[in-house]
Structure 1
Amino acid sequence: MRAVVFENYGRFPSLKDVPKPEPGPGEVLLRVAGAGACHSDISVYRHFREGQPGAQKPPFVLGHENSGWVEALGEGVSERVEVGGAYLVYGPTGCGHCRRCARGQDTYCENAATMPYMAVGLGRDGGMAEYMTVPAHHLVPLGDADPVEAAPLSDAGLTPYHAIKEALPHLEGGGRHALVIGLGGLGQIGVQILRALTGATVVATDIKEEARAEAESYGAITVGAGERQVEQIREATGGRGVDAAFDFVGATPTITTAAAVMAQGGRLTVVGIAGGTHQFSFFTNPYESYVTSTYWGALGELWEVVDMYRAGQIRPEVERFSMDEALEAYRKLEEGKVFGRAVVVPGGV
């Protein structure tokens, strides 16, 4: 079968023929419907080096945002998993035995340091291929929903959902404001989730005019970049500041912008992994506000994301690529020419 393979650190991935996998005990064989291309993949093959925290040892098949149809069941898999059924794949893969994994929080596995991989497509073969194997309990049924459009939800939907859900106490009540920084695939869905789950006024900011226009179509007030960015965000809140901010970039300038517009008692969640830092001062930080981070989300939360998708509350913006065009999808992603989420469709677009 054909697959997009990360072969070595610092090297662009290859499209090549690899053996079709066989499901082991507790696993299923999935015929891939769609696999999302994520900026995290670029970090994997461009920026990480052997021994660096977060580095995943090559070679392996990329793709941690996946959906597909179950083709075969491995030993011991319940018949409740429907052969031929469409499913979304929960990507994080923990030890399966610690307290965190028992709660479906594989992202925070207590034994992560001893695991040979982080997730499907991140150390373990992922879904940028015609077929993949998946732990059966990591499947979320899609019913009659379009599995190709749904594929990015396993990260670009789940990651903002978890971050927003953790911040909901800060957005309860009237007169609340939320800030979204970075209107790529995650940020656009984040705006939609905030509009669906809260009554807060959503302020969103991005350099790209077309991204801001998209966010406005979902009900956000938008602000461009530039010298007056902080001032304009504060103006949108009546001068009080935002109660919850979500930085989907995570660079030092974006974190600094978010910190400059926080209200007292607010929560700034850094979701993006651009490696930015934040300087704390007792006299400049609003009282009882804090900066935190989240990573991906829990398995049970992915079920809730799918419920929102099937109810029409969230919709990912998808650009489809055939398997022949998979490497072009990554090139366009690196060049900033993908609007929304690039999804590779092995069966053809």
Structure 2
Amino acid sequence: MRAVVFTQYETSPELKEVERPVPGPGEVLLKVAGSGACHSDVALYKEFTEGAPGSIPPGFTLGHEASGWVEEVGPGVQGFTKGDAYLAYGPIGCGHCKACSRGQDTYCENAATMPYLGLGLGRDGGMAEYEVVPARNLVPLGDADPVDAAPLADAGLTPYHAVKHSLPNLAGGGRYALVIGLGGLGQIAVQILTALTGATVIATDMKEDAMRRAEANGAVTVPGGEGQVAAIRELTGGRGVDAAFDFVGATPTIKTAQASMAQGGRLTVVGIANGVTEWSFFTTPYESTITNTYWGTIEDLHEVVAMYRAGQIRPEVERFAMDDALEAYRKLEAGELCGRAVVVPHAG
């Protein structure tokens, strides 16, 4: 079968012929319906170097947000019917620590001893014609379109987890949420916030077309650049926002979010651009919080799929055939995509 393989650091991945995997005990083989290309993939093969924090040794198939149809089950697996559609939960922890027992594999207490972080992150992922997934990591899609659902495994789950933790800050009238960075995750964050809260959603980006798409989903937009913070504060009557979500994570965007906060507000940095910031007692709004989140729980993913099936969230998807998978990554790197690039291995 064909697969997009991360072969070495600081080198583009390769589209290669590899053996079709066989499901082992407790595993299911999926015929991949769609696999999303993510900036995290680009970081793996282009930005990280051997031994650097966050690096994962090469030699595996990319793709940590994938969906597919059951093709075959491994020994001991029951309850799955061939042809049924599922979304794959990417993180894989040890399975027996406290975090994993509550479905929070992203914060596995034994992560340092694991041979991989998850599907497409050290273990072969879904940027291929077939993928083996632990049965526990499969979330049913029912009759929902599995191709368009593929990005939900990260681009939907990650903002949902961040928003869910901030819901107490947005409960009540007259609340404001801020979304910085309107790429794939930011656009879905706007939709999640609109569906789950009554807050006014303020969205900001440097790209005009990205802001127009956010407006179509209910956001009030503020362009990036000079006067950005003043414009955000003006929309809140000078008070600031109750919850901010930075989907970039660079130093300037973190500082913009900090400067836009209300007293008691919560800033969640979701983007992994390695930004840094400063804290001062006299310039930080009282009782405000700066935190970060990483991906989400499998329970969260079940809830994301429920929102998708109810029509509350709609990922923007640009489809690519398997032959064009490397072009999808090129366009991702070049910033030429409007939505999430999803490779469809069995198109046609």
TM over 0.5: yes
Give the Cα separation in 2 of the matches to 1:52 and 1:107. Answer: 19
Q: 1:115 matched to which residue of 2?
A: 114
Q: Which amino acid aligns with 1:340?
A: G
Q: Percent of pairs identical after alignment?
A: 72
Give the Cα separation in 1 of the matches to 2:18 and 2:129. Answer: 10
Q: 1:270 matched to which residue of 2?
A: 269
Give the Cα separation in 2 of the matches to 1:82 and 1:53. Answer: 41
Q: CA deviation at 1:51?
A: 1.6
Q: CA deviation at 1:123?
A: 0.5
Q: State how 1:90-169 maps to structure 2 within 5 Å.
A: 90-169=89-168
Q: 1:250 matched to which residue of 2?
A: 249
Q: CA deviation at 1:84?
A: 1.2
Alignment pair present for 1:32 and 2:32 = yes
TM-score (norm 2): 0.99
Q: CA deviation at 1:290?
A: 1.3
Alignment pair present for 1:57 and 2:60 = no
Secondary structure in 1 matching 2:15: strand
Alignment pair present for 1:339 and 2:345 = no
Q: CA deviation at 1:206?
A: 0.3
Q: CA deviation at 1:57?
A: 1.0
Q: CA deviation at 1:339?
A: 1.1
Secondary structure in 1 matching 2:243: strand
Secondary structure in 2 matching 1:12: coil
Alignment pair present for 1:326 and 2:325 = yes
Deviations along 1:110-165, one digit per CA (max 9) or x if unpaired, are 00001111110010000010001000010000010000000000000000000000
* Larger mean Cα displacement after TM superposition, 46-55 or 58-67: 46-55
Give the Cα separation in 1 of the matches to 2:346 and 2:240. Answer: 48
Q: Which amino acid aligns with 2:213?
A: E
Q: 1:19 matched to which residue of 2?
A: 19
Give the Cα separation in 1 of the matches to 2:81 and 2:254. Answer: 44
Give the Cα separation in 1 of the matches to 2:227 and 2:53. Answer: 37
Q: CA deviation at 1:195?
A: 0.3
Secondary structure in 1 matching 2:262: strand
Q: Which amino acid aligns with 1:25?
A: P
Q: 2:7 matched to which residue of 1?
A: 7
Secondary structure in 1 matching 2:69: strand
Q: CA deviation at 1:293?
A: 0.1
Q: 2:238 matched to which residue of 1?
A: 239
Secondary structure in 2 matching 1:49: coil
Give the Cα separation in 1 of the matches to 2:234 and 2:76. Answer: 59
Q: Which amino acid aligns with 2:203?
A: A
Give the Cα separation in 2 of the matches to 1:334 and 1:254. Answer: 20
Q: Which amino acid aligns with 1:87?
A: Y
Deviations along 1:220-271, one digit per CA (max 9) or x if unpaired, are 0000011110111111111100000000000000000000010000000000
Deviations along 1:188-214, one digit per CA (max 9) or x if unpaired, are 000000000000000000000000000
Q: 2:68 matched to which residue of 1?
A: 68
TM-score (norm 1): 0.99
Q: Which amino acid aligns with 1:230?
A: V
Give the Cα separation in 2 of the matches to 1:241 and 1:73. Answer: 52
Alignment pair present for 1:191 and 2:199 = no
Q: Which amino acid aligns with 1:18?
A: V
Q: 2:204 matched to which residue of 1?
A: 205
Q: CA deviation at 1:305?
A: 0.2
Give the Cα separation in 1 of the matches to 2:298 and 2:309. Answer: 17
Secondary structure in 2 matching 1:257: helix
* Structure 2 gap segments, 5+ residues each: none
Runs of 4+ off more than 6 Å: none
* Structure 1 gap segments, 5+ residues each: none
Q: CA deviation at 1:177?
A: 0.1
Give the Cα separation in 2 of the matches to 1:206 and 1:149. Answer: 24
Q: CA deviation at 1:53?
A: 2.0
Q: CA deviation at 1:63?
A: 0.3
Give the Cα separation in 2 of the matches to 1:18 and 1:46. Answer: 22
Alignment pair present for 1:77 and 2:77 = yes
Secondary structure in 1 matching 2:271: coil
Q: CA deviation at 1:307?
A: 0.2
CA RMSD of aligned residues (A): 0.6
Give the Cα separation in 2 of the matches to 1:16 and 1:46. Answer: 18
Secondary structure in 2 matching 1:265: strand
Alignment pair present for 1:179 and 2:178 = yes
